Structure 1
Amino acid sequence: MKNDIHRSFEKIKAEEELKEKTREAVLKRLDERPRQKRGIYRFSAALAAAAFVLFFGIGSYQIYFSESSYIDLDVNPSIELSVNRFERVIRVSAYNQDGKEVLSGLDLKHKSYKDAVSILLKKIKKKGYLKKDGIISVTVQGKKSVKSSEIKELHTEIDQCVSGHEVEVYAVSKTVKKKSHHWNVSPAKYLAIKELQRVDQTATVETCRDHSISEIKDYTKKCEDEHGKDQQQGQQGHHRHGSHHDH
């Protein structure tokens, strides 16, 4: 029975040799596809997928097309990349209209997530979405815990791609990802809105979703400053009242 379990496990396990063969035989081929011939590519991709199943089995095919992590990019165009365990993009979606415009004409599937992020940022910058004082917010949520080294590496990649801009890259929990997905906003924007609600209880996801994270954070700071002034004035008034009472 122990041997049967071992064989069953090995049947679906992606070994190092399989990973390398997969990268060389399928992913590299997909990376080199002609961009102009989209119709031909779709047919070729279907053949590649079929070949993948034949050579590596249905279990391995399912492994390749299973999400291992999610990378969400928000500059106001808000975009989600679903990434497999081979660090390849298997699905792409936009949270808003700006995101859809950025994705229009791009084919990011089967690219490494680093290449995909680089391509997205270049187009975002080209289309004028990346303001001088804007923030590039990137969150990572993985089925396994995200290593700090992976966050640092992604941060470095983004810095090299669009230097001179404020960049924040951090991991988020499955709960945050799920809640942000419910509201159809990126995790970074969801957290920015929650922070705003701490100082402005009238703020809602609906009223804030179309604003950039930079705008939301600026407004949060403004509310915090006003709240601080109100507290200071209240304390001064209390002291004046106490002095008058002593006399």
Structure 2
Amino acid sequence: MKGIVMEVYEDKVIVLAKDGSFLEVNRDNRDLDIGQEIEVDDNNKKIRGRIIKRLASIAAAFILLITTGYGVYGYYTPYGYINVDINPSVEIAYNLYNRVIDLKGLNEDGNILISKIKNYRNRTIENVINEVIDTAVEQAYVRPEQENVILITITEKKDKVDDEKIYKLVDSHIKQKIENTEVILIEGDNNIYKRAREDKISPGKLMLIEKAIDLNKDIKFEEVAKKPVKEIMRMIKEAKREKEKKEERKKLEKKTEKEMDKIEEMKFNKSRKAKGKKEDKLEREEIEKFRKDKTKKDEEEKEIEVDKIEKYKEKDQRRYLKKKSQDEFEEQRKEKQENLIINDNKKNQDNKYKVDKSEKKNKSKRGHENEYKHNKKERGKDED
């Protein structure tokens, strides 16, 4: 049957069995923690007497913690995950109290590895990680004759686990057994964890694959996902080296190009000096010829422009004279018409004057005649 470790001593542990009894169990050099669940049998010595009261109070407090209110939720709910990738990929789920509540393999080798680990529940994170690494060494997943890589990925709600402490623990523990082992620790997040679960790989491995693809676009996700972590790390290092080589080549090419330009400039300047006065004179003559040709061309273009202007002026002048002639003709016509009107008016006035004068003369004549007749008539009367 199973029981929970209540107290740990140098050579023995006190276990609370499922039937409520307390058993004294030999430790047998096992690394056991309080709260850890282990296998016990009925042959173990049962504890009796006054010590039972103290153990009962401890057991009551422990049971109360994990079976009431927030305690049961906090104890059995995953607070975070630690993934260990070698070639076996293993995921350790731990609770709010940093106790391991689940252990599963993420690939075939991972399932084989965890099948060798018993009684992992309620143990500390550090204890289970060390056992995972020890089992990997025993199963020859980590070997002294090869380069080894262990990838640790921590994904949790808050920074509860000490990342540096975990790194130092794993690094020192593995190097006590196999020296040539590189330990890499990565912090994940919930988004990466969800994506990794969809791809059935660890968050750390997903992050390494994405980094490899970012460095080398020819890498295919499906192919790399099947490779062990050390192979992915090798691909990343090669891709980095290749990228650095390309950057160095570019820098060298740029530097070489600048140096070649400088050499060409020096050759050109040296060549110019070597030409001597004769070539300088020829060069000056060529420059002078170019200037003269340019001046001549400019003058020809200017003459052409002047001719154009003159043609425009001549055309405008003809247009002006034509308009002026038309205006003068119109003015003469108007003047002639006005003169005709004036002459007609003058004739009319002269005719009127003559008529008036004639009428006046006739009237005067008639007056004289009437006066003469009247005078004559008067004289006749006098004679009678």
TM over 0.5: yes
Paired residues of 1:146 and 1:171 also in contact (CA < 8 A): no
Q: Distance in 2 between matches of 1:55 and 1:140?
A: 25
1:83, distance to aligned residue in structure 2 (A): 0.2
Q: Distance in 2 between matches of 1:202 and 1:188?
A: 21
Q: Distance in 2 between matches of 1:54 and 1:71?
A: 24
Matches within 5 A, 1:1-247: 28=34, 30-34=36-40, 52=63, 56-57=67-68, 59-107=70-118, 108-131=120-143, 132-146=146-160, 150-163=162-175, 164=179, 165-233=181-249, 239=256, 243=260
What is the DSSP-based 3-state SS (H/G/I as helix, E as strand, rest coil) of the residue aligned with 1:28?
coil
What is the DSSP-based 3-state SS (H/G/I as helix, E as strand, rest coil) of the residue aligned with 1:162?
helix
Q: Distance in 1 between matches of 2:248 and 2:65?
A: 72
Q: Whose RCO is larger (CA < 8 A, sep 6+)? A: 1
How big is each residue's C-alpha offset from its partner over 1:25-70, in whole Å with a ceiling of 9 and x where there is no partner? 87836444349xxxxxxxxxxxx9xx94798426432221001111
Identity %: 18
Q: What letter matches 1:33 in structure 2?
A: E
Residue number in structure 2 paired with 1:11: none
What is the DSSP-based 3-state SS (H/G/I as helix, E as strand, rest coil) of the residue aligned with 1:72?
strand
How big is each residue's C-alpha offset from its partner over 1:88-115, in whole Å with a ceiling of 9 and x where there is no partner? 1111121111111101132222222111
Gap change, CA 1:113 and 1:198, over 3 Å in 2: same
Number of residue pairs the alignment of both structures matches: 211
Gap change, CA 1:200 and 1:58, over 3 Å in 2: same
Q: What letter matches 2:164 in structure 1?
A: K
Q: Distance in 1 between matches of 2:184 and 2:127?
A: 18
1:133, distance to aligned residue in structure 2 (A): 1.5
1:172, distance to aligned residue in structure 2 (A): 1.9
Gap change, CA 1:231 and 1:86, over 3 Å in 2: closer
TM-score by length of 2: 0.48
Paired residues of 2:65 and 2:71 also in contact (CA < 8 A): no
Q: Which runs of 5+ in 1 are unaligned?
A: 1-21, 36-47
- Calculate the aligned-residue CA RMSD, in Å: 3.4
1:242, distance to aligned residue in structure 2 (A): 9.4
Of residues 128-137 and 113-122 in structure 1, the stretch that sits farther from structure 2 once superposed is 128-137
How big is each residue's C-alpha offset from its partner over 1:119-164, in whole Å with a ceiling of 9 and x where there is no partner? 11001011111144211111111111246xx112212321332112
Please say which structure displays the higher CA radius of gyration. Answer: 2
Q: Distance in 2 between matches of 1:200 and 1:82?
A: 33
Q: Distance in 1 between matches of 2:100 and 2:166?
A: 15
Paired residues of 1:77 and 1:98 also in contact (CA < 8 A): yes
Q: Distance in 1 between matches of 2:234 and 2:207?
A: 14
Of residues 51-60 and 210-219 in structure 1, the stretch that sits farther from structure 2 once superposed is 51-60
TM-score by length of 1: 0.71
Of residues 68-77 and 205-214 in structure 1, the stretch that sits farther from structure 2 once superposed is 205-214
Q: What letter matches 1:218 in structure 2?
A: R
Q: Which runs of 5+ in 2 are unaligned?
A: 8-14, 17-32, 42-58, 269-384
What is the DSSP-based 3-state SS (H/G/I as helix, E as strand, rest coil) of the residue aligned with 2:150?
strand
